[in-house]
């Protein structure tokens, strides 16, 4: 956060002095990166808090809220940059190409190094992936600004700067679309991408003694943890604790579902009787 905030100040000042909209656009996106990192950090702290009487799962879902906020923040930044870019097309200003090149080159190093810190965790945590996507997009954008600076030095064409800014905006929008879609789906308690509901159903229906299953629900508790509830119809069978323990283990091992709750039903009442015990 400190490294990126310092770079925002330098890049924003350089963009203002040189008149480069591409640098200002990149600085605005870098500022959204700092806020993204703050949100990811706060969410990770909240998610680590133990459950309470009011929040019986703890505050794990704060990581989902942070991912949604990060995605929304990106699109707000896109809108602001796009408005100014269009204005610059109508009224191009002279730009210092050398300043663009020097500052953007530093941006490649800063953003690339920061992204590497999130590379491993981004594969399994949407909240960390949000931060990773922000930083990698910035590294790519900075590379584009370097190219634009070189072209301005060679040609002296002022319209290259807003064109580079427009490309920056397009890259940011493209890189953040999947993040926005995935975070909103988790916010709506949609099944995480890594879990195939059909495979989970097939596994449960194939268990010894299970005649059928119903009320199968899978939802995210956070950007890294998932929960499941299901009713197993097992006529004439009273499963032992070892059976339920093995099923829970397999659900976590195969599908990454760490919080399964299974209700066993002996007949075809289909939940007309609510007194059956739940096994976690």
Altogether, the residues listed in the chain come to a count of 280
Q: Which residues contact 171 (CB under 8 A, 6 or more apart)?
A: 137, 140, 141, 144
| Domain match, 157 and 202 both | no
Q: Which residues contact 27 (CB under 8 A, 6 or more apart)?
A: 8, 11, 12, 15
| Domain match, 173 and 224 both | no
| Domain match, 88 and 38 both | yes
Q: State pLDDT tens for residues 20-52.
A: 776 777 777 678 778 778 887 888 888 888 888
| Alpha helical stretches, state H, the chain | 2-18, 21-47, 62-90, 97-116, 126-155, 160-187, 197-205, 241-255
| Domain match, 182 and 208 both | no
Angle at Cα 159 formed by Cα 156 and Cα 163, nearest 5°? 125
Domain boundary among 155, 187, 219: 187
| Domain match, 75 and 175 both | yes
The sign of the CA dihedral 251, 255, 260, 264 is: negative
Q: Which residue stretches of the chain have pLDDT < 50? A: 272-280
Q: What pLDDT does 279 receive? A: 45
| Domain match, 79 and 147 both | yes
Q: What pLDDT does 122 receive? A: 65
192 lies in some domain? no
Q: What pLDDT does 96 receive? A: 65
**Tally of domains in the chain:** 2
| Domain match, 271 and 158 both | no
SS3 235: coil
Q: What pLDDT does 274 receive? A: 43
Residue that is written with structure tokens 């950090």 in the block: 41
CATH number at residue 258: 3.30.70.1350
| Domain containing residue 252 | 197-279
The CB density around residue 97, as the number of other CB atoms within 10 Å, is 21
Using alpha carbons, select from 206, 201, 205, 211 the residue that is nearest to residue 270. Answer: 211
- Count of alpha carbons within 13 Å of 129, Cβ hemisphere only? 19
| Domain match, 56 and 15 both | yes
Q: Are 30 and 11 a contacting pair, CB within 8 Å?
A: yes
Domain boundary among 187, 210, 245: 187
Q: Are 137 and 56 a contacting pair, CB within 8 Å?
A: no
Token reading at 78: 């896109």
| Domain match, 180 and 230 both | no
| Domain match, 30 and 99 both | yes
Q: What pLDDT does 46 receive? A: 87
């Amino acid at each position: 956060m400190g490294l990126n905030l310092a770079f925002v100040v330098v890049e924003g000042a350089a963009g203002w002095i040189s008149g480069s909209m591409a640098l200002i656009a990149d600085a605005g996106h870098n500022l959204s990166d700092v806020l993204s990192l703050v949100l990811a950090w706060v969410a990770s702290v909240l998610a680590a808090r133990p459950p309470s009487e009011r929040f019986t799962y703890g505050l794990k879902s704060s990581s989902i809220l942070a991912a949604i906020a990060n995605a929304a923040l990106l699109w707000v930044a896109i809108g602001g940059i796009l408005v100014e870019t269009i204005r610059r097309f109508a009224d191009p200003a002279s730009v210092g190409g050398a300043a663009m090149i020097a500052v953007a080159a530093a941006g490649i190093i800063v953003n690339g190094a920061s992204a590497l810190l999130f590379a491993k965790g981004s594969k399994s945590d949407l909240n960390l992936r949000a931060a990773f996507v922000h930083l990698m997009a910035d590294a790519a954008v900075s590379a584009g600004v370097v190219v634009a600076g070189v072209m301005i030095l060679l040609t002296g064409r002022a319209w290259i700067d807003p064109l580079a800014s427009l490309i920056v905006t397009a890259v940011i929008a493209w890189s953040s679309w999947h993040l926005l879609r995935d975070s909103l789906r988790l916010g709506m308690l949609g099944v995480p991408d890594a879990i195939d509901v059909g495979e989970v159903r097939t596994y449960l229906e194939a268990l010894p003694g299970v005649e059928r299953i119903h009320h199968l629900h899978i939802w995210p508790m956070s950007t890294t943890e998932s929960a499941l509830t299901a009713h197993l119809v097992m006529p004439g069978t009273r499963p032992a604790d070892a059976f339920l323990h093995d099923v829970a283990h397999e659900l976590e091992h195969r599908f990454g579902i760490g919080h399964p709750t299974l209700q066993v039903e002996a007949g075809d009442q289909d939940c007309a009787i609510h007194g059956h015990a739940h096994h976690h």
